[in-house]
Structure 1
Amino acid sequence: MTSFHAFLVDSAGRSLRSLFAYARDMERATAERYTQLADMLSAHHNDQVAALFKRLADIEWVHVYEVSALCVDMGVPEDVVQSRPTDRLRGAELPDPGELHYLTTPYQAIELAYRGEQRAALFYEDVARTTPDAEVRELAQRFAEEERRHMRELDVWRSRYPPPAADWDDDPDPANEPE
């Protein structure tokens, strides 16, 4: 575990408030990133994958709402759940745009989302394993299982598409790059 990752696990594991703040920030950042990826791919006329990322963004916005609702249900007033600037990792779940190619296939897009959910599940498992707070542990385990459920759903999505061919990124008319 890197020292930055250890810091984040420690920060998120300090209290229910900090774990809720982290979870909400991560889901929000992921929704924003999926929207950004959808826009990027739409600009390259990869409409099928752009639509897939738009759908993923919509799902992540639902997760933001669910985290907020759970926060209130557990008696942690949402208006006091604030991230500190140093805690804004913007999400273990957050996909890296550098992993994306303008010819990305649906299978690869789902694989990218799957890896993000997997990182988030591992993060929450780390929090659950290392926090001394029983309530935080229970919530982190719940969040980890939720991320694992998302992985299972993405497995179903991925099964609908063929893996990419070896030459998936060959483009006889590649996008123009600025000189």
Structure 2
Amino acid sequence: MTTEVATFLAHALAMENEAADRYDELADTMEIHNNPAVAELFRQMAAFSRRHAESVAERAARHDLPVLKSWQYRWNTFEPPEVGAIEGTHYRMTPHHALSFALDNERRGRDFYAARAKDGANGELRRLAAEMAEEEAAHVAELERWLERVPPPDGDWDQDDDEAIVAD
């Protein structure tokens, strides 16, 4: 196996694991803010990411993956592509928002893999990346179908009549 393939698989595994961790963090936050519907969706997204990480780990099992430091990862985004930014969330977000957030993450993941499939250093890397891009494209399509069944939020979805009280 080439170093390029091992490095690619290390990136893929990190991306899927970090996406699962982010979804778990968001689910915890939504539970704290009494938003159980969105918390449950984020838990489902974490489980999906973990299953995809298991798939990547199976592909990588016969390879010796490098242990990369945080600054050695090369993403096409600030964080791993499937790890959505916290700034894209809100404690009163709706299931529609959560699914849109996940859809954006999956699209970035698909694009990351598709770019590696196009510009990979060798045939094995391009083949693996193309397979993973196809899997992500299926995730995108599933989320798009799911999103069509979830009503969009009302215009005042983020209004909170119960102002926060901070005790000193």
Do the structures match in fold with TM over 0.5?
yes
- Kindly indicate whether the alpha-carbon contact (under 8 Å) linking 1:14 and 1:131 is maintained by their aligned counterparts in 2: no
Structure 1 match to 2:19: 30
Indicate the structure whose relative CO is greater, using CA pairs within 8 Å and at least 6 residues apart: 1
Deviation at 1:14, TM superposition (A): 5.8
Deviation at 1:123, TM superposition (A): 1.1
In structure 2, give the amino acid aligned to 1:141.
A
Alignment of 1:25-174 (within 5 A): 25-72=14-61, 75-76=62-63, 80-85=64-69, 86-88=71-73, 90-174=79-163
Cα distance in structure 2, aligned partners of 1:16 and 1:111: 31
Q: The residue matched to 1:121 in structure 2 has which SS?
A: helix
Deviation at 1:174, TM superposition (A): 3.6
- Kindly indicate whether the alpha-carbon contact (under 8 Å) linking 2:4 and 2:121 is maintained by their aligned counterparts in 1: no
- Go from structure 1 to structure 2 and tell me whether the alpha carbon gap of 1:171 and 1:121 turns closer, same or farther (over 3 Å shift): same
Residue ranges of structure 1 left out of the alignment (5+ in a row)? 1-12
TM-score by length of 1: 0.83
Number of residue pairs aligned between Structure 1 and Structure 2:
162
- Go from structure 1 to structure 2 and tell me whether the alpha carbon gap of 1:121 and 1:170 turns closer, same or farther (over 3 Å shift): same
